Amino acid sequence: MATTIRSGVTITICTAWAAIRPCRRLPLDRTRRLLQLQPPYLSTAFSPQVRCQGVWRSRVRCTSDTSGAPPVTAPGTSDAAAADEVLLEAPGSFRIYRSGKIDRLNDPTILPAGVDEATGVASKDVVLDAGTGLSVRLYLPNKLQDASAKLPVVVYFHGGAFLIGSARDPTYHKYLNALASAAGVLAVSVDYRLAPEHPLPAAYDDSWAALRWVASAQDEWIADHGNASRLFVAGDSAGANIAHEMLVRDGGPRIEGAVLLHPWFSGNAAIEGEPPAAARVTGLLWSYACRGSAAGGADDPRMNPLASPALERLACARMLVTTGLEDGLAARNRAYYDAVAASGWRGRAAWLELEGEGHVFFLGKLECDNAKRLMDRVAAFIADA
């Protein structure tokens, strides 16, 4: 997905997610040297169906302001013209206007719940709050070796930069069917409210309410087949960001483990391995999704947890963080893992990086070797094997 931002200095952009072609991250023994960075180009993948369409040109604001606020309208521009100006565009995913309006260009197809022919997994939808529209889709595998056996429960948060995506769209429906079958879990996919119509923290609050509902085992499937003492949170991209937020909120249920798939974190300043342009783009998106509620721009601890003391109190016993080495977020993903491992947190952290893969590649090609390897690793992590 290519992204276009109006006004400022021109840079080259490609598609797959947020930064330049990333350098190789240091392994655990820290003996491998970092590779030379390539010329900067931004890649994006908020919508996993969208593949790289080539090189685009983007105009990114270049000032000392790193707050991510929209650029100032040029002198002489009418209010009406300014409101209709496209501020940021991701072809095939969304188009954001200076007025704050958004056009969602991603596939609006919604798949009904039911029994998946490929995996035999059954699914159903449950509305948790008719007022807000908060709902979840539950996935129950049919390979129960023992009818009395209780399954681990995985609460999953979809990606999409807080702007697009749904628990009911074809990509996530297919992935959750595969996850429930491969890992032998009862999965609960959260359909939270999207920005900008519902600015953050709406997505966080919806996810928190869904997590607490799952832990209460009010639903028949969860009560009969789920093991509430083996509760996991998981998500990809912005969904992994949400999973992290669930781990640092006070008063939540006990969580055994967390699976963060290519998490979307950033900050006002770029770290080693990512270009300044990536931080500026994230700052703009973050400001747009928050609509004024962000503290410190992209250094808000919800978007930049690297220096947060909250890492010491992550509410889980185990964590798996993954990335693809062709993902522009790879450096930031590794930095997050290193920060967790170096904090005072008493849990166990695991890391998985895959060569030659971009951001959330597994959503679009579940049958490829690396996607199968990743699924096997997630299943083993949940089983604690």
C-alpha span between 4 and 342 (Å, rounded): 37
Q: Which of 237, 287, 293, 343 is catalytic?
A: 237
Distance, in Å, from the CA atom of 350 to the CA atom of 380, rounded to the nearest integer, reads: 12
Q: Which DSSP symbol is given to 300?
A: S
- Contact predicate 103/92, CB 8 Å: no
C-alpha angle 216-203-178 in degrees, rounded to nearest 5: 70
Residues in the chain, overall count: 385
Residue 310: CB atoms within 10 A of its CB come to 18
Kindly give, in sequence order, each residue whose CB lies less than 8 Å from that of residue 328, ignoring residues fewer than 6 positions away.
Answer: 16, 17, 18, 19, 20, 21, 22, 42, 43, 274, 278, 359
For residue 57, how many C-alpha atoms fall within 13 Å in the half-sphere facing its CB? 4
Place of tokens 């967390």: 258
CA 281 to chain centre: 16
Q: Could you tell me which of 306, 301, 264 has the C-alpha nearest to residue 285?
A: 264
Which structure tokens are listed for 54? 């080539």
Answer yes or no: are the C-beta atoms of 159 and 236 closer than 8 Å.
Answer: yes
Separation in Å, CA 159 to CA 4, 169, 189: 20, 12, 11
Q: Does the annotation count 181 as an active-site position? A: no
Backbone angles phi, psi at 69, to 5 degrees: -70, 150
Q: List active site positions.
A: 237
